[in-house]
Structure 1
């Protein structure tokens, strides 16, 4: 089985490549500029593959320039799907959306039937991508995934968990954080990669939309406690008002029943394993 992969050099893509290879598939990277319709068409036409996993995206939510979110996440995805429908009709296409499409008003363990209320340009672009992708549904088998928070070795230090791990590894005296009481779904990038590979290769008939989530939630205090056990050290926490989100929901995680039904052998790692792996990795 040959699986085309966009975003192969990104944080998630590196682990998806490994997961595909471990499953016996051949991973072929697509690297053309997503916003260049002709370049994408030429690359897809010249690259034989059976399935597609589309990860490449503009992902940093707080970026000031909102246009690339739509140029890349929405129109870029349409360029990929259009080319795939032309050259590889009938192919299964796993496209990466985001749990952020549910919006900040969501609370608890959210399933795929929850209302979507995206509240930033990144999330809006991802939901628009989901809706537009359906236009190729008569020629492609499209699965839109909505991953919740996940982390791991190699994630940018601007993200919360790598930032916390780095402070523990350096035995920093203090760390500035926001709300400590909120509980969130924190997955492991290796499990996310395994889910993508499984959905592309082994799932019989995956649903058109499904969450990638652990189904469990942890508070920031939980993360601090577990890292304290690992490191034997705990920085003093200073709450920075700039990091505190007004009206932050207390509990936000993903219901993963559809994913577990599609991939019965898929089991997410405990958060403690992920934190130990990250702490032990070379900075």
Structure 2
């Protein structure tokens, strides 16, 4: 019997790619999304990619307890993958209360609804921002957590709440996945990242410049203590990340308890490294200017992903060039998104 998995934020960037990986692995995704930064049109694309019926999709907010109770009552849900939330560092600095409301309160409402329904398998979309500025890289899971912005603090608060929940009640199977910098798109070019409004992340901004929607890329900081002065991050292909969620789900279904893992490549790439790889992918130059640093950003970090390999048998397989090639295929084929 197929296990149905509730995917909150499942129409979003990482959620939609994870729905593909779930379907290909024999699970049945059920999507809950308020479409605040996504589109219901993704469902038809998912059906084309998987060759299966489009996932059941419910429009709604994870903070709506009554809706969650109805979902758990009406569907045989065996597990939850929780993506729903806000994710822009700069916006979190400007409007912290909305991040605590969406990310923390929403996660608590979800966990309470799961407990009432007797569903105790939960994969949580956390972030490497919980580490803040690390003492060194690569960063292991036991590194100090000292997030430098409200977004990272909201993720750490949820991790701590879920950890306390898992330790206080038997039967919970919780995986906290700290991922680094998801980029790329499905190789079909049918789904990818399409933020509403001005992008907050590097890759969609580079893509929009390359396709002619924006005049140039602003590089936020050129004076960091890094090899070329620009920020260094661990860029991981979104489909590698999606497959990591499936691996974590399989592990959680078989093992009670709490698991915290990094999902990354274990390699750092600078902003200019990404721009150069994207130029190779699209065959044209990407104009850029160096601007000031953004509040809350840290100079450099990348993952120690060895625990994910040891525990889950998972490791990132796709290169930066493939990330950029897939991003360009998506952006050039869908310049206006969905």
The TM-score, its normalising length taken from structure 2, stands at 0.75
Match of 1:255 among 292, 304, 310: 304
Q: Distance in 2 between matches of 1:121 and 1:22?
A: 35
Establish whether residue 43 from structure 1 lines up as the match of residue 71 from structure 2: yes
Give the alignment partner of residue 160 of structure 1, picking from 202, 222, 229: 202
1:20 and 1:26 in contact (8 A); partners too: yes
Q: 1:46 to 1:226 in 2, by over 3 A?
A: same
CA distance in structure 1 between the aligned counterparts of 2:266 and 2:109, rounded to whole angstroms: 33
Deviations 1:127-183 (A, max 9, x none): 111111123312421111111111124322432112113323439875331335332
Of the three residues 164, 174, 189, the one matched with 1:142 is 174
Post-superposition Cα deviations, 1:51-100, rounded to whole Å, max 9, x if no partner, equal 211111122222232222122211211111121122124x3210111111
Distance in 2 between residues matched to 1:37 and 1:244, nearest whole Å: 36
Partner residue in 2 for 1:26: 28
SS state at 2:77 partner: coil
1:128 aligned residue? 157
Query: Corresponding residue for 1:92?
Result: 121
Question: Would the aligned equivalents of 2:148 and 2:297 in 1 still touch at CA under 8 Å?
Answer: no
8 Å contact kept, 2:219–2:289: yes
* Secondary structure at 1:77 match in 2: helix
Q: Does structure 2 retain, via aligned residues, the 8 Å contact 1:34–1:77?
A: yes
Superposition deviation, residue 200 in structure 1:
0.9
Paired residues of 2:132 and 2:298 also in contact (CA < 8 A): no
Q: Say whether 1:151 aligns with 2:183.
A: yes
Secondary structure (helix, strand or coil) at the match of 1:142 reads strand
Could you say which residue in structure 1 is the equivalent of 2:18? 16
Superposition deviation, residue 261 in structure 1: 1.6
Where structure 1 has 5 or more consecutive residues not aligned to the other structure, the ranges are: none
Cα 1:23–1:221 shift into 2, 3 Å: same
Q: Residue 106 of structure 2 aligns with which residue?
A: 76
Q: CA RMSD in A?
A: 2.4
Is 1:119 equivalent to 2:160 in the alignment?
Answer: no
* Structure 1 counterpart of 2:239: 190
Structure 1 CA distance, aligned partners of 2:179 and 2:239? Answer: 13
Does 2:1 align with 1:4?
Answer: no
In 2, the alpha carbon distance for the partners of 1:174 and 1:45 equals 50
Preserved CA contact (<8 Å) 1:111 1:255: yes
**8 Å CA contact 2:63, 2:110 repeated in 1:** no
Distance 1:61 1:173 in 2: 23
The number of equivalent residue pairs is 280
Instruction: From the superposition, tell whether residues 105 and 200 of structure 1 become closer, same or farther in structure 2 (CA, over 3 Å).
Output: closer
Distance in 2 of aligned mates of 1:261 and 1:221: 32
